[in-house]
Amino acid sequence: MSEIDNVTGLPNGVALLSILENLQPWSALPTGFAVHLVYIQHPRQGKVRHPGDGADAILIEVARRLRRLASSEDIIAHYGNDKFLVVKFSDEPVLRGKLFAISLRNELSMPIRLDCGAISVDATVGTVVHADDSGTTEMLLQLAEAALHAARCEREVDCNCCYTMSLPYSIENDKPAQDLLTAIKSRQFLLYYQPIVRATNREVEGFEALLRWSSPEHGMVPPSEFIPTAERTGMITPLGSWVLTEACKEIAVRSPTQCIAVNVSPVSLENGDVATDISTALNVSGLEANRLAIEITEAVHLNLTNSVARQLNKISDMGVRISIDDFGTGYSSLSTINAIPVSCIKIDQSFTRKITSDSTSKIVVQTILEMADRLSICTVAEAVETEEEASIMTGMGATALQGYLFGRPLPAQAAFGNGQAFHAGIGLGVS
């Protein structure tokens, strides 16, 4: 079987598998590497497969541009009809991988001149950065496909996705990881939305987007079961990118004024490029930046590297609000407020549940609310289930309330379909 593509002269998919296998063990390589899976699409006629639209000429030109961008040590292959794959070696695979992905998209967005005139193609890049000896060739390519799928953002091709693969063992031996990868590729995830109301008048000011997995095999899988697997494998980053775009698109269509809050994993902040994902989500959806909030946990503070801090400040500079979720449960609460540009804090549900019966919890909440007021930081009381809890939290000065008392998480149509979902106002700082 030939291992060279007849049109582009590049190694084909068969040759690529052999090349990647021959690189094992990856720990023996002098550098790390990033795998870039590139999908090419004609903007008007779909996949580039028709002789009449200069398909061969397009593929030849794409191959030529990839050769120009890559170095002699890098690997380039024609991976499939509309896909190319580039393995880029670097001493800084995470940083250089992200930069090279951007360069790929910029280079491939330039018009291609054919006999019939100049045309433009859409290029989407899914990137997996590999920096250790873990994983197999098959797993590497599966994750590249998952990253590309996430990057396409449901056929919105003006975006890319990059995340780090660092697995201690093969995905073949990890059933939860296999199931999760299948779920991402077959679009088994959906978003539910829970309202957040203004404490003083109970008007809905925004929604929190909550990820749900509807598995054909396991039914509705709770986040507590699949999020740890997503974070452990690195799949949380393409998944998080999809959530950001989907939530922004939904709120932009459903409401002209309300805010949307999206949870961002510490793993994505550390290994991904959340700022770019947010920028893409806003551009694709047309949503104003001040209507988006990202919710981070206090765990971010424990790994608050310079790069994470820069990302959070960049996100804040974009006009996006930053909220600390589950506030008060970790020793780093106050340090977190001092270290990053926080717009809102969400009081952990453990305090709400005890607010009617435990004097210590009441004192802690009162202290948090007074501090937040002095710092001009809004506050959301989570898990409010009774009128008594709502009344106490409102009386103590909470800005907003969230919980089953005001609505359970529901699919978009049900969540946005009730009458209160369109009250005006975006006074809620981040949610």
pLDDT mean over 364-377: 94
pLDDT computed for residue 427 by the predictor: 30
The Cβ-side half-sphere exposure at 58, using a 13 Å CA radius, reads: 30
Strands 410-411 and 189-198: antiparallel
Asked whether the beta carbons of 140 and 20 are under 8 A apart, the reply is yes
Residues in Cβ contact with 310 at an 8 Å cutoff, skipping those fewer than 6 apart? none
Per-residue confidence band for 412, with pLDDT thresholds at 50, 70 and 90 = very high
Above 50 in pLDDT, residue 15? yes
Judge residue 52's burial from the number of C-beta atoms within 10 Å of its C-beta, 0-12 exposed, 13-18 middle, 19 or more buried. exposed
Q: Which of 118-122, 228-232, 252-256, 289-293 has the lowest mean pLDDT?
A: 118-122
Amino acid identity, position 295: E
144-158, 289-303, 401-415, range with greatest mean pLDDT: 401-415
Amino acid identity, position 278: I
Judge residue 50's burial from the number of C-beta atoms within 10 Å of its C-beta, 0-12 exposed, 13-18 middle, 19 or more buried. exposed
Asked whether the beta carbons of 244 and 189 are under 8 A apart, the reply is no
Above 50 in pLDDT, residue 168? no
**Domains, the chain, ordered by start:** 13-172 (3.30.70.270), 184-422 (3.20.20.450)
pLDDT mean over 388-408: 97
Which of 132, 126, 39 shows the shortest CA–CA distance to 84? Answer: 39
pLDDT computed for residue 358 by the predictor: 94
Which of 289, 300, 293 shows the shortest CA–CA distance to 263? Answer: 293
- CA–chain centroid gap for 410, Å, is 21
